[in-house]
Amino acid sequence: MFKADHTLTFKVPTSNGEADMNFGGIKVYQTCMGMVDDLKSAFNMAKLFIGGTSDRPNVPIFGSHVPPYMEKANVEFLKEAKG
């Protein structure tokens, strides 16, 4: 086998964008698998953030706490997306 070196150069239009890319690398998400799959992906992504949008901890789903479904969704996302 042989080893080859390659260099890619990206022009990032803003300093904030460059800082984000330098911190976390390039992020690529596919959203062209069809309308049904895109809607499923959007719903699954929403589950990562919807809980905890209230200032009242006793309100189900939207209360100021991390609901179990949201904790589970985040863990599953990290396992799938980041290995």
Number of domains in the chain: 1
Which of 10, 40, 43 has its CA nearest to residue 28? 10
Per-residue pLDDT averaged across 18-40, rounded? 76
Q: Summarize pLDDT for 35-75 with one digit per residue, the tens.
A: 788 788 788 777 777 766 677 777 776 677 777 877 888 88
Domain assignment present for residue 3? The answer is no
- CB 29, CB 37: distance < 8 Å: no
Domain assignment present for residue 8? The answer is no
pTM of the full structure: 0.38
Judged against a pLDDT cut of 80, whether residue 23 lies above it is answered with yes
* Residue-level pLDDT at 1: 64
Which of 35, 10, 38, 13 has its CA nearest to residue 25? 10
- Say which amino acid occupies 34: G
Q: Which domain holds residue 73?
A: 32-82
Domain assignment present for residue 9? The answer is no
The residues, ordered by sequence, that sit 6+ positions from 62 with a Cβ below 8 Å of its Cβ are: 50, 51, 52, 53, 54
Per-residue pLDDT averaged across 26-33, rounded? 66
Q: How confident is the model at residue 5 (pLDDT cuts 50, 70, 90)?
A: confident
Domain assignment present for residue 40? The answer is yes
